[in-house]
């Protein structure tokens, strides 16, 4: 039996012109953070917006509209994690949305591209336990990371 799941995606404002191609591809292929859903789940994007720019002013308001449109889970796009510097507010965004709007938040959409993986590994960006937890949903094998370069 196929079930439906309505999702919202919030991207980093510095990528506001992004067309979402990697996110939508990952959703279709159930890769990256979308691998948490099973093949019987029909994923529907019913909302897509930016954080509003640092420090994320849109985070206060966009989830409310998303909820009115039936969003059941919000994904904070991988760009918030792989951009440099990574979003320093991402944990706050997740906590705020879940507390205020009672909507589950997943950090990530598409798999981390290999070029970003290598750069952040060399810089030591994600060494902390907190960052290891944040990147976990989008961390995959090298072949998949390369396919998202």
pLDDT tens per residue across span 126-143 = 999 999 999 999 999 999
59 closest CA partner among 12, 106, 5, 107: 12
What's the structural domain count of the chain? 1
- The answer, yes or no, to whether residue 148 has pLDDT greater than 70, is yes
Q: Phi/psi of residue 50, each to 5°? A: -100, 170
Query: For the domain that residue 98 is a member of, what is the CATH number?
Result: 3.40.50
Q: Are 108 and 66 in contact (CB under 8 A)?
A: no
Q: What is the mean pLDDT of residues 41-65?
A: 96
Q: How many CB atoms lie within 10 A of CB 11?
A: 22
Q: Is the per-residue pLDDT at 1 higher than 90?
A: no
Provide the domain limits for residue 85. 3-147
Q: Is 91 helix (H, G, I), strand (E, B) or coil?
A: helix
pTM of the model: 0.95
Lowest mean pLDDT: which of 1-5, 68-72, 77-81, 93-97?
Answer: 1-5
Q: Express as a percent the part of the chain with pLDDT over 90.
A: 97
């Amino acid at each position: 039996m196929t079930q439906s799941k309505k999702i919202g995606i919030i991207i980093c404002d510095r990528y506001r012109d992004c067309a979402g191609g990697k996110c939508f591809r990952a959703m279709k292929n159930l890769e990256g953070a979308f691998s948490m859903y099973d093949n019987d789940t029909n994923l529907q994007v019913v909302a897509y917006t930016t954080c509003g720019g640092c420090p994320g002013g849109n985070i206060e308001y966009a989830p409310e509209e998303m909820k009115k449109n039936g969003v059941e889970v919000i994904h904070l796009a991988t760009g918030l994690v792989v951009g440099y510097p990574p979003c320093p507010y991402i944990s706050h965004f997740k906590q705020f949305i879940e507390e205020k709007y009672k909507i589950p938040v997943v950090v990530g959409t598409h798999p981390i591209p290999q070029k970003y993986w290598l750069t952040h590994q060399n810089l030591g960006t994600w060494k902390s336990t907190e960052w290891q937890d944040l990147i976990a949903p989008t961390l995959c094998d090298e072949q998949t990371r390369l396919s998202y370069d």
